[in-house]
Amino acid sequence: MRHTSREPRPRRRLPRLLRFPIRILSSALIISLALFFLPYLTRLAGRLWPDPARTQKVSEILSHELKESARLETMTVDDEGVLTATVQAALIGEVQRVTITYDYHASVGVDLNKVSITADGGVLTLVLPPFEILSDSLTPVTVDRDDFWYPLTESRRAMLLSEERAARAQAVLSEVESSDEIWHRTVATLEGLIRSWIGADTWLITVDIQREALPDAAPEKSAGLRTGDLL
C-alpha cells in the first residue's frame, strides 16, 4: 500500500498595497450602515423602554410649535376661468347674458391649530384635519354683457362672483383631498418641521402622522353656465 502526502497549499494573501484601501472601504461601509440603522434602533429602543416624561415633554413642545406656526401651506393655485350666466324671462326668453373672465388664486393647506396629539409610550400620533382654503381671491378681468332688457346690477354681479369663488374653492379642495402626492408632500414638510422643533428627541420617540377621516363627500356642483328665471 502506497501512502502519498501532499503539501498544504499556501494561502493566497492580498498584496500589501491593497490591504489599506480595503480596510478603509470596510470601515466606511460599517460606519454608513451604523448611521443608517441608528434612527431605527433608537426608535425601537424607545418603544421597548418608553420614557413617559420625555414623551410628554415633546408633546407639549409640539403643541406649542403647532399653535405658533398656525398654518401649513400645501399648495397654491393660480388659474384663469370664464363664468357665463343668463336670465330667462317668461314668454320673452333670454333677457340677460353675462360672461366674466377672471383670475383665481388660492392657498391650500392645513390649520395646525386643529391638529390633535396623543401620546402612547414612545409614540406620538398627530392627526391632521382636512385640507382647507387658507386664503383665496377671484379677480374679474373682463365683463361682457348683453343686458338691454334686464340690466346687470352690482349686487347680481357680486353674487355671481361669490358663487363662482365658492365653486372653485370646492373643486380645488376635492382635487387636493384625492391626491396622494399632495398628502405625502404635506407629511414630508411637517416631518421636517418636527425635526427642527424637537431635534434629538425624535431619536427615542416615533411620530406617526395620520389624516382625519373625511365624511361622505357631497356631490360637486358644476360651475360654468348659470341660468336664472325672471318671473
**15/20 Cα distance (integer angstroms):** 10
Query: What are 123-138's pLDDT values in tens digits?
Result: 899 999 999 999 999 9
Closest to 187 in 3D by CA, of 82, 179, 100: 179
Task: Tell me the pLDDT tens digit for each residue of 54-69.
Answer: 888 889 999 999 999 8
Cell numbers given for 133? 382654503
CB-based contact 155:38 (threshold 8 Å): no
DSSP string, 25-82: HHHHHHHHHHHHHHHHHHHHHHHHS--HHHHHHHHHHHHHHHHHH-EEEEEEEEEEEE
Q: How do residues 143-177 score in pLDDT, each as one tens digit?
A: 999 988 879 899 999 999 999 999 999 999 999 99
